[in-house]
Amino acid sequence: MAQASGGAARPVLEVEGITKAFPGVVANDDVSLTLNQGEIHCLLGENGAGKSTLVNMVFGLYRPDQGTIKVRGEEVHFEDSGDAIARGIGMVHQHFQLIPVFTVAENIILGNEVTKGAFLDLDSARRQIDSLAERYGLAVDPDATVGDLSVGEQQRVELVKALFRDADILILDEPTAVLTPGEVDDFFGVVESLTGQGKSIIFITHKLREVLAVADRITVLRAGQVVGTATAEGATQQSLANLMVGRDVVFRVDKAEADPGAPVLRTQDLRVADDRGVETVTGFDVEVRAGEIFGIAGVEGNGQRELVEAICGMRPTAGGRVEMLGQETTDWSPRKINELGVAHVPENRSKHGVVAQYTIADNLVLNRYHHRKFSQRGVRNTAAINAEAQELVEQFDVRTPGVDAVIDTLSGGNQQKVIVARELTGDLKALVVAQPTRGLDVGSIEFIHRKIIELRDRGVAVLLVSAELDEILSLSDRIGVLYRGRLAGTVNAADATREELGLLMATGSSGGQR
Amino acid sequence: MTTVEHAVGATGASGRVGLNRQSITGLVFGLLGIALLAGVAPAISGNSRRFNFEPPPDPAGIGFHPPTWVVAIGVLFLLTAVLGFAPPEARRWASPARLLSALAVIPLLLVLSLALSDNPSTNIVNLFNESLVLATPLALGATTGLWCERSGIINIGIEGTMLAGAGIGYMTYATIGDAQSTGWLWFSILISVLAGGLVAALLAVLSIRFGVNQIVGGVVINLFALGLTGFLRSEVIVKTGITTGVGTSEFGLPLLSEIPVIGDQLFRGKPIYWMMYLVVIGTWLVMFRTPWGLRVRSCGENPHAAETLGVNVVRIRYQSVILGGLIAGLAGAWFSMESQTRFEDNMTNAAGFIALAALIFGKWTPWGAFGGALLFGFSRALGTRLQFLGVEVSGFEIPSEFLQALPFIVTLVVVAGAVGRSIPPAAAGQPFQRSK
């Protein structure tokens, strides 16, 4: 990426020696960072490395324990984000800070309302938004209700919101996590047009490919400390990953050729409605064979959640059928499906994966506490449960003080390992797994991927749903793209390209026209 | 191509899932329609009846033949039922038909009650006016709830807040005013309003500062107000000797009250009643047309988003809850200084809870809440009217308690079908913690 024009680097934001501790953890330890006028500065690090904490301090949401923040050479102390906004700092949060029932215009002006007398002046707000949208190429409809917009459109609203406040330092917290590959390219275009007009950008991500694509400079955080800075020219994916994790990282998942057997899981014209009653799975057909991994790619919100929940018996179907091992299992209870030998690693870890206040041992037997082995005549056999838990904790490398620790005290990665340990134990025929590595560090991701492949090699049929295209590509044997509730296309993983999948995800067809 | 498919899919889906409520509502209307046509219409007397528009003597009005009306409404119900099951092309008529049928329940109740009584006529303009007046505390209470819940605080302590306003206001009047004149009356009403604000401030501190569960906080307010006002009545009000006072007096709106026949009935009223309209209109304007209102609504939907834009969520919630409390205090004054001119223990008699029902019914909008309040006001007025009329079914006089409850039950059941699901502000009830 070419260095931004404009002569000598002029710092617009200087963070010096910032330390911030939360009870039990030092989130930022003596962190320093400089952002120059017109540059894209990537902040790279694993989850929990302290990236969000750092930018939340720059944006005035947290107050640092030590250290100083300077904006255009002047030291600042922000009491709230209103102060940061007044200094020309804007932030697009990872989880959009939008109000779904408000219109685009209302969302944008909130906090900086345009008024005529005592009343809101939505007409002139609309004009200002239109002119901003035109200037930066961010098409938004001021009168649309935000809840009806796509994720990409919502992100544009967030950007316009920051620009509306005259932000010239923009903090983008994992902006690409929710976008399709095509949208990501568009987004990079927008980002470049912003720096072209003099804006300076802090870009947070953990995706190495993106860093190398857009960054002028890179700062890597690990465990709250800056472990390295680099320019985009000198860096490679491997060097950045090693910095980020602190050891050598293996990217490729090693796996043998699949040897598919008989069909295990089949759906026919499956239809499922979401919580609002809108049908989001609209006729889904798939057949997953023993010993293969069928990956489902797709932008989130295309029916993934409802599909998985319906297959696993957690949500009633609205039509069609589900078959497993040759029997119809449509609308069976989750336990009945589970007893058939179908395991489920749910997308929503804290809601459907664990009981947060239970111990690790109890969480590990949630799906079989009633079996003869663990309870006799209605009384739990604690000794047997603990013994089983101890074994699983060792086998799955769960880092915990003990099996009687409350699971809520573990990190996300360790919680996920507990879920995987529970679900992957027993006589499995099929595994339905959704977003298995979301939010996990590279080490846990490697581990869980290996376990899934192991299972496949033992002849289990695996249905993998993931929003991470890289994960889909490296694990799957066949890949289906879910678009508006049905399969837009199926390809063999060996022949699949990111571009083809990206097009399918964005438009539902691989053909020329949009 | 894909968009077309999607659109078809979406309508198909909503039709299919919505069918549940639609078909139940359709079934209810169908059964009602059949009952009206086959059971009621032949059974009720064919003597003509009259709706009057003004009090006797010699009132203007319209006469009607009850069975004809019953048949007409029965046919409307049946049509609504049929449309509920009609093919998709005709479905778009189903929703307006349901609304029309739901509204038709009101004339149906009037026609039936008159047909089943010995009285040949009743004044319906006056009935409408009574409904509006009885809706006053409900609309004010619902507006209280609106301000609280739109800012993210669930307030089930409206009942207690009103009661405290009624009791403390009247106590002020009894202590410093006198029984014959209206001196200090307005000051006492002001005290009612402030008392409401104070009680709401207590709820605000409990739920915002200390993060107490908002439902528990509301229950505490209700119990506290009941005990406090009971104590004040027996220890202060009774001892002043002024157990009945002088209330606010009626006045007519200029010009409007001059309208022949209806003007004098509809456009004469007491001050708190008129203020209720100002409060509803003002609430609508402030909440939906001003920057502050926008911020209040954002705090009830996504306080963290509001915070990232520099909105002071804690302050906004305090302001809204206390504003709501002031309104509830005014509703309290209506009880003890406008509707009645004395204070009785528990005189609000669950109006605060009915106000909450009106709020939910009105889908958390000022005009919807007002409509809900009006509906419950009408139910109450009609319940009383039914007792006067002495409704008999085949020689058996229906107990008055049942008559009082009947309109509530009928309107709730029928309108539930027409109003449908009501979605509260997303963050209502969630404590907010500022980022550190």
Chain B positions touching A85 (Cβ under 8 A) are 309-310
B22: distance to nearest CA of chain A, Å?
A: 13
Write the CATH number for B411: 1.10.3470
Residue B291: which domain range? 126-419
- Whether B6 has a pLDDT exceeding 60, the answer reads no
Q: Are residues B164 and B228 in the same domain?
A: yes
DSSP character at residue A274: -
Quick check: B254 contacting A, CB < 8 Å?
Answer: no
Model pLDDT for residues A497-509, shown as the tens digit of each residue: 888 888 888 888 8
Q: Are residues B159 and B307 in the same domain?
A: yes
Burial class of residue A403 in the structure, from the number of CB atoms within 10 Å of its CB (0-12 exposed, 13-18 middle, 19+ buried): buried
Average pLDDT over residues B276-294: 97
Q: d(Cα A214, Cα A225) in Å, to the nearest integer?
A: 23
Q: For chain A, report the end-to-end CA distance as a whole number of angstroms.
A: 29
Quick check: B297 contacting A, CB < 8 Å?
Answer: yes
Last residue of a domain, one of B98, B116, B134: B116
CB contact under 8 Å between A110 and B294, yes or no, is yes
Q: Classify residue B139: in a domain, yes or no.
A: yes
How many C-beta atoms lie closer than 10 Å to residue B399's C-beta? 10
Q: Are residues B78 and B139 in the same domain?
A: no
Chain A positions touching B2 (Cβ under 8 A) are 484, 507-509
Mutation for testing the B interface, residue in A59, A98, A279, A299 having most B CBs under 10 Å: A279
Q: Which helix (H) or strand (E) holds B23?
A: helix B2-34
Average pLDDT over residues B360-373: 92
B13: distance to nearest CA of chain A, Å?
A: 5
Q: What is the largest CA-CA distance in chain A?
A: 80
Q: Classify residue B141: in a domain, yes or no.
A: yes
Question: What are the φ and ψ backbone dihedral angles of A405, each rounded to 5 degrees?
Answer: -75, 145
User: What residues does A21 pair with on adjacent strands?
Assistant: A26
CA distances (Å), B86 to each of A90, A492, B72, B75, B381, in order?
53, 46, 21, 16, 37
Q: Are residues B109 and B143 in the same domain?
A: no
Tokens 């006056």 -> residue: B126
Q: Classify residue B297: in a domain, yes or no.
A: yes
Number of domains in chain B: 2
Q: Are residues B93 and B217 in the same domain?
A: no
Q: Classify residue B433: in a domain, yes or no.
A: no
Quick check: B363 contacting A, CB < 8 Å?
Answer: no
CB contact under 8 Å between A111 and B435, yes or no, is no
Nearest by CB: A277 against B14, B294, B302: B14
User: Of A442, A447, A497, which Cα lies nearest the Cα of A472?
Assistant: A497
Q: Classify residue B346: in a domain, yes or no.
A: yes
B327: distance to nearest CA of chain A, Å?
A: 22
Amino acid at A424: L
Model pLDDT for residues B42-85, shown as the tens digit of each residue: 888 778 888 888 887 888 888 888 899 999 999 999 998 888 77
Question: What are the φ and ψ backbone dihedral angles of B366, each rounded to 5 degrees?
Answer: -60, -45
CB contact under 8 Å between A277 and B291, yes or no, is no
CB A464 within 8 A of CB A295: yes
CB contact under 8 Å between A101 and B301, yes or no, is yes
Kindly state the tokens that stand for A289: 């064979």
Q: Classify residue B435: in a domain, yes or no.
A: no
Last residue of a domain, one of B89, B116, B143: B116
CA distances (Å), B117 to each of A12, B108, B113, B392, in order?
84, 14, 6, 6
Kindly state the tokens that stand for B130: 């009574």
Model pLDDT for residues A252-264, shown as the tens digit of each residue: 677 888 888 999 9
Q: Are residues B213 and B82 in the same domain?
A: no
CA distances (Å), A145 to each of A3, A76, A148, in order?
39, 36, 6
Chain B positions touching A108 (Cβ under 8 A) are none
Q: Which domains does chain A have, with CATH numbers?
A: 11-245 (3.40.50.300), 257-341+428-514 (3.40.50.300), 350-426 (no CATH)
Q: Are residues B51 and B166 in the same domain?
A: no
Q: d(Cα A89, Cα B12) in Å, to the nearest integer?
A: 46
Model pLDDT for residues B97-143, shown as the tens digit of each residue: 888 888 888 888 888 888 888 888 888 898 999 999 999 999 999 99
Q: Which residues, other chains included, contact B68 with Cβ-Cβ below 8 Å and sequence gap of 6+? A: none
Q: d(Cα A108, Cα A112) in Å, to the nearest integer?
A: 8
CB contact under 8 Å between A282 and B13, yes or no, is yes
- Whether A513 has a pLDDT exceeding 50, the answer reads no
CA atoms within 13 A on the CB side of B173: 32
A and B: number of Cβ contacts within 8 A: 103
Nearest by CB: B289 against A93, A110, A120: A120
Model pLDDT for residues B10-21, shown as the tens digit of each residue: 333 333 444 566
Q: Are residues B224 and B348 in the same domain?
A: yes
State the pLDDT at residue A36: 94
- Sheet of B121-123, strands arranged across: B61-64, B49-52, B121-123
Question: What are the φ and ψ backbone dihedral angles of A295, each rounded to 5 degrees?
Answer: -95, 135
Model pLDDT for residues A420-432, shown as the tens digit of each residue: 999 998 889 999 9
CB contact under 8 Å between A278 and B297, yes or no, is no
Q: Are residues B212 and B94 in the same domain?
A: no
ipTM above 0.85, yes or no: no
Nearest by CB: B17 against A110, A120, A273: A273
CB contact under 8 Å between A120 and B290, yes or no, is yes
Cis before B57? omega within 30: yes
Last residue of a domain, one of B60, B94, B116: B116
Nearest by CB: A99 against B13, B291, B301: B301
Question: What are the φ and ψ backbone dihedral angles of A174, each rounded to 5 degrees?
Answer: 45, 55
Name the more confident of B269 and A508: B269
Mutation for testing the B interface, residue in A28, A52, A56, A80 having most B CBs under 10 Å: A80
For every residue of A312-361, DSSP letters joined together read TTSS--SEEEEEETTEE-TT--HHHHHHTTEEEE-S-IIIII--TTSBHH
Kindly state the tokens that stand for A290: 């023993």
Interface of A to B at Cβ within 8 Å reads 56, 59, 61-63, 80-83, 85, 91, 93, 96-102, 106, 109-113, 115, 118-120, 161, 273, 277-279, 282, 318, 484-485, 507-509
CB B199 within 8 A of CB B363: no
Q: d(Cα A477, Cα A457) in Å, to the nearest integer?
A: 12
Strands B121-123 and A66-71: unpaired
Model pLDDT for residues A353-387, shown as the tens digit of each residue: 999 889 999 999 999 888 889 998 889 999 999 99
Q: Which helix (H) or strand (E) holds A384?
A: helix A382-395
Quick check: B311 contacting A, CB < 8 Å?
Answer: yes
Contacts by A72-76, CB closer than 8 A, 24 or more apart = A72/A12, A72/A13, A73/A11, A73/A14
State the pLDDT at residue A174: 84
Q: d(Cα A269, Cα B349) in Å, to the nearest integer?
A: 56
CB contact under 8 Å between A113 and B289, yes or no, is no
CB A396 within 8 A of CB A412: no
Q: What share of chain A is helix, strand, coil (3-state, %, to 5)?
A: 35, 25, 40
A393 conformational bin, left if phi > 0, alpha if psi -120 to 50, beta if neither:
alpha
CB contact under 8 Å between A97 and B436, yes or no, is no
Q: Are residues B101 and B229 in the same domain?
A: no
Q: How confident is the model at residue A124 (pLDDT cuts 50, 70, 90)?
A: very high
Quick check: B435 contacting A, CB < 8 Å?
Answer: yes
User: Of A435, A371, A441, which Cα lies nearest the Cα of A412?
Assistant: A441
CA distances (Å), A265 to each of A311, A332, A344, B231, in order?
9, 14, 13, 70
Q: Are residues B55 and B149 in the same domain?
A: no
CB contact under 8 Å between B13 and A80, yes or no, is no
Model pLDDT for residues B159-217, shown as the tens digit of each residue: 999 999 999 999 999 998 776 777 789 999 999 999 999 999 999 999 999 989 999 99
State the pLDDT at residue B417: 66
Q: Classify residue B430: in a domain, yes or no.
A: no
State the pLDDT at residue B394: 67
Average pLDDT over residues B406-416: 71
Q: Are residues B56 and B25 in the same domain?
A: yes
Quick check: B15 contacting A, CB < 8 Å?
Answer: no
Nearest by CB: A93 against B2, B291, B308: B308
Kindly state the tokens that stand for B397: 């006089």
Q: Classify residue B340: in a domain, yes or no.
A: yes
CB contact under 8 Å between A61 and B307, yes or no, is yes
CB A314 within 8 A of CB A471: no
User: What residues does A294 pair with on adjacent strands?
Assistant: A463, A478
Nearest residue of B to residue A107 by CA position?
B298
CB contact under 8 Å between B18 and A278, yes or no, is no
- Whether A10 has a pLDDT exceeding 50, the answer reads yes
